[in-house]
Structure 1
Amino acid sequence: MNVEEITPLLLTYNEEANIGRTLDRLTWAERVVIVDSYSDDATVELADSFNNVDLVQREFDNHTSQWNYGLDQIESDWVLSLDADYQVPTAFVEEMTALNPSSDVAGYRATFTYCVFGSPIRANLYPPRVVLFRKKVARYVQDGHTQRLSVDGAVEALDTELKHDDRKPLDRWFDNQRQYARLEAEKLRDSGDLDLPDRLRRTDVLGPLLVPLYCLFGQGLILDGWPGWYYTLQRTYAELLLTLTRLDTRLRDSADAPRDE
């Protein structure tokens, strides 16, 4: 696969802590499309300093619409979909250029190395994601707090991992988690077909109890020192917030229900 066939696509909103490092790894691309949600920090200035970046702005409504709007800006056959805190190693680019996909292959999924301020940890709960795909057979759909790419065709696995290294301020992370918890709570309430992790979350007990044990001991993050603890505490907080959001809704609904006198 020739790199001219691939256009990286990113979404941004106040990503000055990440965007420069991410774009430094995309200089191989002839064109990088960024859909920015009217950042009010240095994101736009940093992005504009790269000659291969084509930045457009759109008022944010939801991630699904934002990603699909980005797809509409792309002219190449293949899209490399990246979050603004993803790092693309040289080996990943080399693997992409060595690909010779058959006509029935619609995309490729990648796994991730999670980094805490540049320090990689040995494991994470971040699921594999379809990141490289044919534009004409793909579209995003909403899935809980995030979006899911719907691809019409076969999806194969890439061997090289991407790096996830988010260095935005912690208060921004807390703000995002509150939004994610609300959307995830709605998904757990409304969905009938759930995978095992979501079924555990639905118990409102097992998620917050099992996540720290699984991260520290099941995945061995206790051996990664403070970065391992940092990641474990983040994931535990996210599970606790989800449980609290679900319980808050349930108890409020119960309090507001008519009572027999």
Structure 2
Amino acid sequence: MPKISALLITLNEEDNIASVIENLHFADEIVIVDSFSKDRTIEIAKNYPNVKIYQHQFEDFTKQRNYALSKAKFEWVLFLDADERVTKKLKKEILETVNSKNPADAYFFYRKFMFKDKPLHFSGWQTDKNIRLFKKSKAKYTEERLVHEVLCVNGSQGKLKNKLIHYSYQNYHSYKRKMLSYAKLKAKELYNKKVEPNPYHYYVKPLYKFIHGYIIRLGFLDGRKGLTICYLNALSVYKRYPFLDEMIKNSKKGF
């Protein structure tokens, strides 16, 4: 029977780490690559004998994920975020898939976005999907993207039917911090591409992000939850450009 390496990258995930490790009990190994957490993440993870822990300095999500891939022992990889959970039905589907006669080389998972403990039905998340299960020899995260990283698959792709649960939003301030950290990495990505911000970036792009999520993708049907998520997602788009402008100014000063 094919074996599965479950991979996680973590930073200060003491609220999630025990739950996600226990959720991945069906994997043949669990590998954690931690960015030197300052909370109890590592202390808690060490309580689980089936977990291998590595600490690696964080540069960007792509490098961190590729480093974790290098530590996987088995061909089949299940790569989750610490705030994601596999349901019983999805677990069954994963095991049936890797044990099937002619599986694809990689599989997309649709995700159900949770606003605290309640599902968000619209706001752009209704078609959210990522590749989470794949053959190690057939895939690598593309190095051009530093955040919202993309897995490049040299082979066939499929989709699983059952959704992955995504507990991304715990409270306003933690989600805002996450969006601002994404904005900083996106600014670095744009800086590497020699993009220079202009009024279109500052006003049109964030406004479109909000309208797209709240109106076109029906975020208003999610009520106050949808308004909050669409605002913070648009804020992340806006904030990348002051960060980018600061990088450009510092480079001209020789910093």
Q: Does TM-score exceed 0.5, indicating one fold?
A: yes
Aligned counterpart, 1:198: none
Aligned counterpart, 1:197: none
When normalised by structure 1's length, the TM-score is 0.79
Written as runs of structure 1 = structure 2, the 5 A alignment for 1:201-212 is 203-212=201-210
Supply the AA of the counterpart residue of 1:137: K
SS in 1 for 2:122: coil
C-alpha RMSD over aligned residues: 2.9
Aligned counterpart, 1:106: 105
SS in 2 for 1:102: coil
Aligned counterpart, 2:30: 32
Shift of 1:135: 0.9
SS in 2 for 1:185: helix
- Residues 124, 87 of structure 1: CA spacing in aligned structure 2 closer, same or farther, 3 A cutoff? farther
Supply the AA of the counterpart residue of 2:102: S
- Identity among equivalent pairs (%): 26
Structure 1, residues 65-110: CA drift from partner, whole Å, max 9, x if none?
222221222111200011111111111111112222637x321111
Shift of 1:49: 2.9
C-alpha distance in structure 2 between counterparts of 1:23 and 1:69, whole Å = 19
- Residues 168, 37 of structure 1: CA spacing in aligned structure 2 closer, same or farther, 3 A cutoff? farther
Structure 1, residues 241-260: CA drift from partner, whole Å, max 9, x if none?
1244456667x59x99xxxx
SS in 1 for 2:239: helix
- Which one has the largest radius of gyration? 1
- Residues 47, 62 of structure 1: CA spacing in aligned structure 2 closer, same or farther, 3 A cutoff? same
C-alpha distance in structure 2 between counterparts of 1:248 and 1:213, whole Å = 27
Aligned counterpart, 1:158: 160
Aligned counterpart, 1:137: 138
- Residues 19, 151 of structure 1: CA spacing in aligned structure 2 closer, same or farther, 3 A cutoff? same
Shift of 1:148: 2.0
Aligned counterpart, 1:195: none
Shift of 1:172: 4.9
SS in 2 for 1:11: strand
Please list every run of 5 or more consecutive structure 2 residues that lacks an aligned counterpart in the other structure. none
C-alpha distance in structure 2 between counterparts of 1:189 and 1:69, whole Å = 24
Aligned counterpart, 2:77: 79
- Residues 73, 246 of structure 1: CA spacing in aligned structure 2 closer, same or farther, 3 A cutoff? closer
- Residues 11, 208 of structure 1: CA spacing in aligned structure 2 closer, same or farther, 3 A cutoff? same
Supply the AA of the counterpart residue of 1:111: Y
SS in 2 for 1:147: coil
Shift of 1:117: 0.9
Supply the AA of the counterpart residue of 1:162: L
When normalised by structure 2's length, the TM-score is 0.81
C-alpha distance in structure 2 between counterparts of 1:89 and 1:73, whole Å = 25
C-alpha distance in structure 2 between counterparts of 1:20 and 1:123, whole Å = 29
Supply the AA of the counterpart residue of 1:180: Y
Tell me, yes or no, if the aligned pair for 1:18 and 1:168 is still in contact at 8 Å. Answer: no
Tell me, yes or no, if the aligned pair for 1:26 and 1:88 is still in contact at 8 Å. Answer: yes
Structure 1, residues 170-223: CA drift from partner, whole Å, max 9, x if none?
55544443442233234446559xxxxxxxx96443322122223223222222
Shift of 1:231: 1.4
Shift of 1:60: 2.3
User: 2:15 aligned to 14, 17, 24, which one?
Assistant: 17
The alignment of Structure 1 onto Structure 2 pairs a total of residues equal to: 243
Tell me, yes or no, if the aligned pair for 1:88 and 1:163 is still in contact at 8 Å. Answer: yes
Shift of 1:152: 1.1
Shift of 1:51: 3.8
Please list every run of 5 or more consecutive structure 1 residues that lacks an aligned counterpart in the other structure. 193-200, 257-261
Question: Aligned pair 1:7/2:5, yes or no?
Answer: yes
Deviates more, 1:47-56 or 1:4-13: 47-56
Deviates more, 1:147-156 or 1:19-28: 19-28
